[in-house]
Structure 1
Amino acid sequence: MTKQSIFGRISTLIRANVNALIDQAEDPEKMLDQLVRDFTNNIADAEAAIAETIGNLRLLERDHAEDVATAKEWGNKALAASTKADELRTAGNTADADKFDNLAKIALTRQLTAENEAKAAEPQLAAQNEVVEKLKGGLDGMKAKLEDLKAKRSELIARAKTAEAQNKVHDAVKSINVMDPTSDLGRFEDKVRRQEALAAGQAELAASSLDAQFEQLDDLGQLTEVEARLAALKSGGAQAITS
């Protein structure tokens, strides 16, 4: 049952959709760390179970090889006994010939028993070999999935750090945004602009006042010129009357 549960977990973990699990996780990094631990532990359990299965397979193979060797050995003994019986019978020693023929029959019986045992074990050997190959493939799949998990974990952490750095930069830029009227820099710029406008207004007012003064001088000049001409007219008129 323990082996079956481990092998079942191998199949389940290989079919696991890591991307879907990451999307569903509240904390993907912690989830990946847990998956890495689960996969590592299950791989260790699977390796132990598969090693035991392979060990049992090797025992079966050894028993099968021994049965084959035993069958061959009894076959050789049967042949030797039969040959000896033929030699004795040719020599006229029928009693001993029969004895060796009986030994040959016993050897052949044991040969058949060993051959039957070897033949009976062959389907089990084939099935066990198939199971072991599948388990090895599943274990390789788990190890590949584990490497994918580790790579995704590294990628996720790198992306998280990059996103965190970008957010910090955005926050820093936002805090010094000169277009933000609520920022200290925005208020300072507004104050400077008001001071500049005040200075420009004062300069414009000063210029207007100076122009007015010059206009007054021009008006005074014109009045003086009029007075001079009037005086000349009066002076000229008097001279005309006198003459």
Structure 2
Amino acid sequence: MSKQTILGRVTQLAKANINALLDQAEDPQRMLDQLIRDYTNNISEAEQAVATTIGNLRMLEADHKEDVEAASEWGGKALAASRKADELRAAGSAGDADKFDNLAKVALGRQIQSEKEAAVAEPTIAAQTSVVEKLKSGLDSMRNKLTELQAKRDELVARAKTAQAQNTMMDAVKNIDVMDPTSDLNRFEEKVRREEAMALGKQELAASSLDAQFEALDDLGKSLEVESRLAALKQKRAA
């Protein structure tokens, strides 16, 4: 996996808009669970890739450090050989002086080679350092995004449970309204009232029946009195 691929992937994941993804989801909770799993896996993969990139950078830095130290060391050797050649030449040993001058030249050549290698590595190290910093920043963003995802998931689950409880309560209230026990009491009360009315009707009917009987007795009494008086009149006339 190349540095650009790693960096592009980390940057894309870090910039993911959670709310936009949720708006498009049919089942936000399930999507959040999947996102959390994907993010966790992606973070793990990115961490390994970034660790590899950092390891490569540290190797480059170590090689650069060795080249810088080697250049300094070869420079010191060249200086020591040159001084020795000057001392020998001053002492009249031109042949030995030339040998040390040649050693100085060899050391200087090694110094130049080490300096070149160090110089060549420096732009690569600078670029790698920039990439590593961006990768670290991207990983931090991904970790923050994962925390945000987990918080969103917990919030959504809590809201779903609350909504479910509210719906259950409202359904219960609705059922109470539909099957109102007071309606049964009202029907029973109405039945009692009808029974009471019937009893009153029977009482009134019974009372009217007694009145009719008494009226019949009164009529019978009047008829008997009339018959009695008629008989008395006839007896009186006969006498």
Given the two structures, how large is their TM-score scaled by the length of structure 1?
0.78
Quote the Cα distance in structure 1 between the aligned partners of 2:140 and 2:180.
61
Q: Which residue of 1 aligns with 2:232?
A: none
Which runs of 5 or more structure 1 residues have no equivalent in the other structure? 217-243
Query: Residue 36 of structure 1 aligns to which amino acid in structure 2?
Result: I
| Structure-to-structure mapping, 1:152-191, within 5 angstroms | 152-177=152-177, 180=178, 183=179, 185=181, 187-191=183-187
Query: Residue in 2 aligned with 1:128?
Result: 128
Q: Distance in 2 between matches of 1:94 and 1:2?
A: 58
May I ask how many residue pairs the two structures share in their alignment?
Answer: 208
Is 1:6–1:42's contact at 8 Å kept on the other side of the alignment? no
Distance 2:79 2:176 in 1: 104
Offset, 1:22: 1.4
1:95-134 superposed matches below 5 A:
95-134=95-134
CA drift at 1:197: 3.9
SS at match of 2:188: helix
SS at match of 1:176: helix
Structure 2 residues without counterparts, runs of 5 or longer:
212-239
CA distance in 2, matches of 1:2, 1:108: 38
Residue pairs, 1:1-243, within 5 angstroms: 1=1, 4-177=4-177, 180=178, 183=179, 185=181, 187-198=183-194, 201=197
Are the equivalent residues in 1 in contact too, given 2:75–2:111 (CA < 8 A)?
yes
Task: Give the residue type in structure 2 aligned to 1:119.
Answer: A
Whether the 8 Å CA contact 2:3–2:53 is kept in 1: the answer is: no
SS in 1 for 2:26: coil
AA paired with 1:102?
A: N
Letter in 2 for 1:163: A
Report the CA distance between 1:163 and its aligned residue: 0.8
1:125-152, Cα deviation, whole Å (9 max, x unpaired): 1110000000000011111101111111
TM superposition shift of 1:193: 3.8
Give the distance between the partners of 1:105 and 1:10, measured in 2 at CA: 50
Distance 1:76 1:166 in 2: 84
Q: Distance in 2 between matches of 1:2 and 1:203?
A: 101
State the match for 2:221 in structure 1: none
Shift of 1:20: 1.7
Matched residue type, 2:95: A
Does the aligned pair in 2 maintain the 1:6–1:45 contact within 8 Å? no
Give the number of the structure with larger relative contact order, counting CA–CA contacts within 8 Å between residues 6 or more apart.
Answer: 2
Question: Would you say the 8 A contact 2:36–2:149 is kept in 1?
Answer: yes
Q: Which letter maps to 1:124?
A: T
Matched-pair contact (CA < 8 Å) for 2:75–2:107: yes
> What do you get for the CA RMSD once the two structures are aligned?
2.4
Instruction: Answer yes or no: is the 8 Å Cα contact 2:7–2:131 preserved in 1.
Output: no
The C-alpha deviation readout for 1:21-52, integer Å capped at 9, x for no partner, is 11221111110111011101111110111111
Q: CA deviation at 1:186?
A: 5.2
Offset, 1:187:
4.0
In 2, distance between residues paired with 1:130 and 1:138?
Answer: 12
Deviates more, 1:166-175 or 1:193-202: 193-202
Identity of aligned residues (%): 59
Letter in 1 for 2:82: S
**TM-score normalised by L of structure 2:** 0.79
In the alignment, the residues of structure 1 paired with residue 3 and residue 107 of structure 2 have an alpha-carbon distance, to the nearest angstrom, of 42
Shift, 1:200, TM fit = 6.5
